[in-house]
């Protein structure tokens, strides 16, 4: 059983690593702070976030996406062809992201996340995974004024994501995760989503994972088992029926199961997590199981996010030790 987080983590912490990022970004926006000065602060907080995961005892770490405005902006703003537009709602959350608008053929001019990955990996001896938006989600939250075709947009983005995944694997990422929250909403074209994931992971030597979260995976589970990825991430908190659907699905991949609620402060008990692990162990052997919160922890204030990290590690430790 491998413990991990989904991706993002609170950028500010009144109780530990301070809220100075807020003021620093404002100053940087007003050009009262240089890029290098802001970079120092981003690195300092990234290091603190990695340390918290390490001290809690998680197995597979993330950089907490401290410099990410949202899942897609960091990529979109460095892909030629996109313009970052106004605020839109981030799925079913009272949280907003800036909608990328594609005006012309998207072109990746060079590595995007590799430097920040290298820095994060250098902060710890534990493995650090890399996270990218999945092609279907990237396309769903963007506005397409170029291709005017869902298929062509998704496939073009899949190629770009693949180039980035290859670069991250090259940089040493042991696992590359593709986030696909969009698959939980409406009636996604699963055949296309799976085809695009195949492109995104093509030639990637590291382990690959697709993570779904929010919404409910009506009929998306079985197709996902056919995607060319090693791990399938499932949120069983947002829609409790998903666990039942998972039991009815032929599981051919390693599973990453979102067991703690990353969107509510209420802390799960060790007992209820153990009960859940018992159920999951029947679905997939423990060495093919990742456990994590159902989504990034940035929806929570820092003290509660930190408590969930520690609870996750504690529940796994005591479970293994039984």
One residue of 137, 299, 312, 316 binding other proteins per CB under 8 A:
299
Q: Specify the residue, 86 or 203, whose C-beta has the smaller distance to other proteins.
A: 86
Number of Cβ atoms within 10 Å of the Cβ of 92: 13
The CA distance from 292 to 289, in Å, is 10
Q: Specify the residue, 57 or 301, whose C-beta has the smaller distance to other proteins.
A: 301
Residue 29 sits in the site that holds other proteins (CB under 8 A)? yes
Q: What is the dihedral of CA 318, 320, 321, 322, to 10 degrees?
A: 90
Is the dihedral angle over the CA atoms 186, 90, 35, 178 positive or is it negative?
Answer: negative
Q: Specify the residue, 3 or 140, whose C-beta has the smaller distance to other proteins.
A: 140
Q: Specify the residue, 16 or 124, whose C-beta has the smaller distance to other proteins.
A: 16
Residue 22 sits in the site that holds other proteins (CB under 8 A)? yes
Q: Specify the residue, 110 or 240, whose C-beta has the smaller distance to other proteins.
A: 240
State in angstroms the smallest separation of the CB of 241 from other proteins: 12
One residue of 226, 270, 304, 307 binding other proteins per CB under 8 A:
304
Cα 242 to Cα 133, 160, 216, 233: the distances in Å are: 22, 31, 7, 12
Query: What residues numbered 53-82 form the site for other proteins, per CB under 8 A?
Result: 69-70
Burial class (CB in 10 A: 0-12, 13-18, 19+), 223: middle
State in angstroms the smallest separation of the CB of 269 from other proteins: 13
One residue of 1, 3, 10, 129 binding other proteins per CB under 8 A:
10
CA angle 29, 31, 34 (to 5 degrees): 105
Site for other proteins, rule CB under 8 A: 10-15, 19, 22, 25-26, 29, 69-70, 86-87, 89, 92-98, 264-266, 298-304
């Amino acid at each position: 059983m491998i413990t991990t987080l989904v991706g993002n983590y609170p950028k500010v912490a009144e109780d530990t690593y301070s809220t100075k990022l807020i003021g620093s970004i404002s100053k940087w926006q007003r050009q009262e702070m240089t890029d290098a000065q802001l970079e120092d602060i981003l690195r300092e907080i990234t290091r603190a976030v990695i340390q918290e995961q390490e001290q809690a005892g998680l197995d597979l770490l993330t950089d907490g996406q401290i410099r990410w405005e949202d899942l897609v902006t960091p990529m979109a703003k460095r892909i030629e062809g996109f313009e970052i537009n106004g605020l839109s709602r981030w799925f079913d959350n009272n949280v907003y992201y800036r909608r990328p608008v594609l005006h012309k053929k998207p072109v990746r001019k060079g590595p995007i996340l590799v430097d920040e990955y290298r820095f994060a990996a250098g902060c710890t001896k534990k493995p650090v995974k890399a996270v990218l938006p999945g092609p279907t989600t990237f396309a769903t939250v963007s506005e397409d004024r170029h291709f005017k075709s869902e298929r062509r947009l998704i496939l073009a983005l899949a190629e770009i994501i693949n180039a980035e995944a290859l670069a991250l694997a090259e940089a040493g990422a042991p696992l590359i995760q593709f986030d696909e929250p969009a698959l939980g909403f409406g009636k996604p074209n699963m055949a296309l989503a799976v085809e695009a994931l195949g492109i995104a992971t093509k030639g990637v030597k590291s382990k690959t994972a697709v993570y779904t979260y929010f919404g409910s995976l009506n009929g998306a589970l079985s197709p996902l088992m056919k995607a060319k990825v090693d791990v399938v991430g499932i949120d069983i908190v947002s829609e409790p029926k998903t666990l039942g659907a998972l039991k009815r699905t032929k599981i051919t991949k390693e599973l990453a199961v979102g067991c703690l609620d990353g969107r509510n402060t209420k802390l799960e008990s060790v007992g209820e997590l153990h009960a859940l692990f018992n159920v999951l162990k029947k679905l997939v052997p423990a060495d093919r199981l990742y456990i994590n919160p159902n989504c990034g922890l940035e929806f929570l204030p820092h003290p509660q996010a930190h408590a969930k990290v520690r609870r996750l590690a504690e529940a796994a430790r005591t479970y293994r030790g039984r």
